[in-house]
Chains A and B, each alone.
Chain A
Amino acid sequence: MSTSTTTSTTGQRGRSAARPAGRTPASSLDVDALIDDPKTRIVVCCGSGGVGKTTTAAAIGLRAAERGRKVVVLTIDPARRLAQSMGLTELDNTPRIVKGVSGPGELQAMMLDMKRTFDEVVLAHTDPERAKAIMENPFYQSLSAGFAGTQEYMAMEKLGQLRAADRWDLIVVDTPPSRSALDFLDAPNRLGSFLDGKLIRMLTAPAKVGGRSAMKFLNVGVGLLTGTLGKIFGAQLLTDIQTFVGAMDSMFGGFRERADRTYQLLKAPGTAFLVVAAPERDALREAAYFVDRLAADTMPLAGLVLNRVHSTGAPQLTAERAQAAAEALEENGSQNGSTAGSPSGTQGDASNASPTAPPNASPNASVAASVAAETLAAGLLRLHAERMQIMDRERRTRDRFVSVYPDVPIVEVGALAGDVHDLEGLREIGERLGGRR
C-alpha cells in the first residue's frame, strides 16, 4: 500500500511551505468543520470521471463516522477494490455496516442498484398486482436496466429514500460519472415536465375512458399522432409503451412529488455540494462547469476538493538548480567511471564521508558505491526537477480556476502513489481532506 511512503513526505512540512506563491482562494475549505456540524445532513460529491470522486465520498464518510457521526455513504459505481475496502462485496441496494471503523460514530455503505431502486418505487406506489404487470412490461424492464439517465434518477431517488428513513445523521452521496455532469439536477424537472406534458396524456388517452377531452387542446388529430407513433415504434412496441404508461398512470403523481421533494432537499440548508477535481486542465474546466451549474440552480456549494496535488519537502531547491546539479553529477560520474578517483571539487567532503561507508566494504566496492551514489543522486535531482515542474503546472492550472472563482473554498489533497485498497487508505485521505497533514 502506498500511503505509508507518501505519508512521510507530506508529513514533514506545512502545506504553505511546500506550495509557495500562487493565488490563494478567499478561504480554504474546512472539511472537518463541515462534517462536524450536526446541521450538515447531506454531502453530495460531484465531478467528472477519473478524479477520485467515489474515493473522496468514501473517505469523507469514514472520517465523519470516526469523528462521531452516524453516516451512510451511497456509492454509484465504485471500483471493485474501493468497494472491498469498505467491505462491500455484493450489490444488494441495502446499507451495510462497515467494520473496522474506530471512534464513537458509525459508518454504513451501499452500492446503488438501479433496477431494484426502480422496482421499489413502483412497489411503493401501486398495488402488487399492478406492480407485477409493470415489472413484466418489456419497456419497463429495459428502462430500469439502466440506460443513460436512469442512473441519475435512481441515485436521487435513493438519496430521498435514505433521507426519509432518517436512520443516519449524515448522508454522503457519490454521483454518477456522466459527462452530462449534473443530469441528476435536471432529473426531477425533466420528469415533471414530461409527466405534465401532452405526450403522456396522448399516450394514455386511448387507454382511458374520457380521454377525448384531454386531446382537445391539440392542433393535430389524435389519429394522426398515434398513427405516426405507431409508424415509428411499430404497433407492438407502441402497445407496450401505452400499457406501461397506463399502468404507471396511478403512480405518476407520486413520482413527481418524490422528484420534487428530492430536488428541494438538495437545495435545503443542511445539504452541501463538494465539487471534486484534479489539478489538470480538463478536470478543472469540468469543475468550473459544475460550479456554474450549481450556482444557476442555487444549490449550496461548500467548495472544491482538489485531488492528486503534488508537493515536495524541498521546495527551496528549484527545478533549474536540481537539473543543473544532476548534469554536473553525471559528468563527474562518467569521469570517475574511468579514473576511479574520488569526486572532483570538494575533496575534503569525500574523504570525510568515507568512514560512513559500510565497514566491511572493500575499497573497490566503496569506489563503485561512490559512482553509484553519484548516479543515484543525479537521478534524485532529476526526479525532483520533474516534481517541481509538475507542481508549477498544477499551481498555474489551479490559479486559473481561482482567478475566475475566487470565492470557492478549496482543499488540496496530496497525490498517493497507488489506489486505495483498505480503510487505512481511506483514513489517510480523510486526514488529508481534513487538512491535518
Chain B
Amino acid sequence: MTRLENKTAVVTGGRQGIGRAIVDAFVREGAKVLTCGRGSRPGDLPSDVIWQQTDVAKKSDIEDLLSMARAKLGAISILVNNAGVQIEKTVLDTTDEDWDILMGANAKGLFMACRTFIPNMSLGGSIINIGSISGNTADPGLALYNASKAFVHGLTKSIAVDHGPAIRCNAICPGWIMTGMADAAFEMANNPDAAKLDAVARHPAGRFGQPSDIAAMAVWLASDEATFATGQLFTIDGGMTAASPLNPGLF
C-alpha cells in the first residue's frame, strides 16, 4: 500500500520528532522526500532521503532549498512546514531576540516557505502546516509559541482561500506529543512527575501522542484521498481538548 506513489515532498525540520516521523511515513508510502534542518545530515536518515542544511528563518536558505528541490524532485506535490522552535516564557520575560528567533522560524519562516514554494508546486499540491492546539487555547508560559501557532492557523486558511483550487492547505494541530519540546514544558512544572501523571489523566486516550500519530494524519492529508479537504485545522490530541479542564476526577 503506497498512497504517495509518484509524489514529491519537502518536509522542513526533519531531523527528529514529528518532522522525522513524517519523513519516514512519506518514504514508506512511496514519496520522494527532501528534508532539512539547521545542522548537518543525521546519520540515521535513510539514504534515499535528500538532506539540505537550512535555517527556515533565512530567506536565502529557503531559496537554496527550493533550488535543491527543483533539481532533485522536479515539481513539488507536498510541502510540510514542520520546522519550529519553542521558548518557554511569558510576554514579560520575552526579549526582542527571543521574538526574532521564534517568530523568525515559526511565522516568517513558514510564510517565506509558502511564498517560495507555491509557484513551484504541481496542480493539486498539498501544503501541510504544523499548528498546535496551543494556537486555539493557550498553554501557560508559552506566550510567543501560542501566538505563532495562531498565526499558522490563520495563514493556513488564507492560503486555502487564495490558492484553491490549485493547492490545498491544511494544518495539523497536535496535542501533547512526546518529543523534546514536551519534555521541556514539563520541566517547568514544580513537580514534573506529578504534572505528567495529571496530564495523562486528562487524555481520554490514556496516553500522550507519538510522532507517528501525527505522521498518519499528514499522510492522509498529502494523499489523493483528501482532495476535498482544505482550509482546515485538524486536531490530533487523544481527545484532550474535548474534555473540560474542570475534570472532577482530578480534584
A is bound by B = no
